[in-house]
Amino acid sequence: MSISPTTALYLHQELAHERIRNLHREAAEERLAGRIRSVQRARRQAERASRRLSSALARM
């Protein structure tokens, strides 16, 4: 069984579009993961600063 050239072209285009959509989705997921890591890092830094401040105030 063979497919027509038109069908083959359509399938190729659909595969290419699906790949592009997947790449866009993966890029969005990576951006979100990066933002989550940044927020987690900032939270840890704020917690450390809070502990240092509490310690400094306790020594006064």
Rounded to whole angstroms, how far apart are CA atoms 50 and 44?
Answer: 10
pLDDT of 17 above 90 = yes
Give residues with Cβ within 8 angstroms of 3, minimum separation 6.
Answer: 11
In the prediction, which pLDDT does 6 show? 95
Angstrom distances, CA of residue 20 to CA of 1, 30, 39, 43, 58: 29, 15, 29, 35, 57
The pLDDT tens digits of the residues spanning 27-44 come to 999 999 999 999 999 999
State pTM to two decimals. Answer: 0.70
Residue 8 lies in domain: 1-60
User: How many domains is the chain partitioned into structurally?
Assistant: 1
